[in-house]
Homo-oligomer: A and B are copies of this chain.
Amino acid sequence: MTGMSRRRVFGLAGAGVALAGAGAAGAGIDRALGSAEATTDVVPFHGQHQAGIVTPAQEHLHFAALDVTTKDRAKLVSLLKTWTDAARRMTAGREVGASGAVGGSPAAPPSDTGEALELPASSLTLTIGFGPSLFDDRFGLAGRRPEALAELPAFPKDKLDPARSGGDLCIQACANDPQVAVHAVRNLVRLGFGTTEVRWSQLGFGRSSSTSTAQTTPRNLFGFKDGTNNLKAEDPAALDEHVWVTAADGQAWLAGGSYLVARRIRMHIETWDRTSLEEQEQVIGRTKGSGAPLGQQAEFDPVDLHVGGAGGEPLVPVDAHIRLASSESLNGAKILRRGYNFVDGSDGLGHLEAGLFFICFNRDPRKQFIPMQKALSAKDAMMEYIQHTGSALFAVPPGVSESGYWGDTLFEG
């Protein structure tokens, strides 16, 4: 009965009837209960590129960085295969193991932890990355480290917490239901027990950038539309230029992959909230209401960095965020942003601990993220209101074929 869906089990037995017997029968069951959504909210796992990069940004994030605790390469490869199979299942809305949360032996721990039972796939994507530290002497990968995969340099005003930085591996889980994203990370972490452990983890909500022209531009916790000029899924030529690594870039195993930069950016929202509307708009370089660039009328009007005001000063100030981050100021460099807002409780000093968990994908951080962040950290007026408290860089391998596994081009090539 492998492949029978939980929907069908319920359909046969009648909704609300106890699952007696369904457990034993339920190998390969879907989680969702007859929701029409369940068939339409699955993002394909296989493909040339990993999902979760140009996939229209979902509403919720659970990001985990892990360290590998074994020195046994075979054990690591075995875990990557296990993870890939688990990811195939969970992104399809299925339980992580064949016997699921209730279908195994009562005397054994269930193969799925169960908290996503009845929940649809929720557009879950799982995206893996490999940190620079994975390419040390433990796994024989030193010769396969791309030159671009080096620790990020220190930037001015960084205040990085080592407990929120780095990692041998990362898993980015995005979904339209946070419980589905949390379930996925938790079950992968569980499968990694004895091989990996969680180094740090971050939840996020309210996607801070859209990655598709079909999405409206969301607002960050400064209250501004964020990511208006982001690269979009509908512009494959730009993605080829700015996101996807090619074999000619250096390491053939990474062709079709990308680099993920994660920066935990604490926002000093209390200070920001005491700033005038005019100052806020000057810092960003856009109007707060419509999101139009200063000097323009509507959100998607092209940014004009040269248009001057009455006094001759540029309407987009010299230290405005959108000027310094613009491709025009960065020799054409662009990135694909995919971050999320966060609130992590309070800071012990009477304030909310809130900000932006910045994620971007780029083809070569040395030419894209690093020069951008150098410019921003040195000159951006916004730096007065933010602090980077976590940082990590990962090489994101290409997509997986139906017979492949995460990282196969790295380990098998």
A residues contacting B by CB (< 8 A) are 16-20, 22-23, 60, 62, 64, 69, 101-102, 104-110, 112-118, 163, 177-179, 182, 185-186, 189-190, 193, 197-203, 205-206, 216, 219-224, 269-270, 273-278, 280-281, 287-290, 292, 296-299, 341, 343-346, 348, 350-354
Contacts and interface: CB of A to CB of B under 8 A. Distances in A.
A262 B389 CA distance: 30
B177 A216 contact: no
A281 B344 CA distance: 33
B278 A106 contact: yes
A109 B203 contact: no
19 contacts: A16-B298, A16-B299, A20-B290, A101-B289, A102-B277, A109-B274, A110-B223, A110-B277, A110-B288, A113-B223, A114-B222, A115-B220, A117-B219, A178-B206, A186-B221, A186-B343, A186-B352, A198-B346, A201-B353
A109 B353 CA distance: 21
A18 B297 contact: yes
A122 to B, nearest CB: 11
Oligomeric state, in number of copies? 2
A172 B268 CA distance: 23
Contacts of A114: 219, 222-224, 288
A190 B270 contact: yes
A23 B278 CA distance: 13
A18 B292 contact: yes
B277 A106 contact: yes
A375 to B, nearest CB: 26
A300 to B, nearest CB: 8
A413 to B, nearest CB: 30
Nearest to A163: B348
A205 B178 contact: yes
B276 A107 contact: yes
A64 to B, nearest CB: 8
A196 B16 CA distance: 48
B62 A18 contact: no
A105 to B, nearest CB: 7
A270 B287 CA distance: 48
A329 B322 CA distance: 63
A108 B277 contact: yes
A346 B109 contact: no
A74 to B, nearest CB: 22
B276 A109 contact: yes
Given A113-B273, A198-B352, A201-B353, 6 more contacts: A18-B292, A64-B352, A117-B219, A179-B206, A190-B270, A199-B350
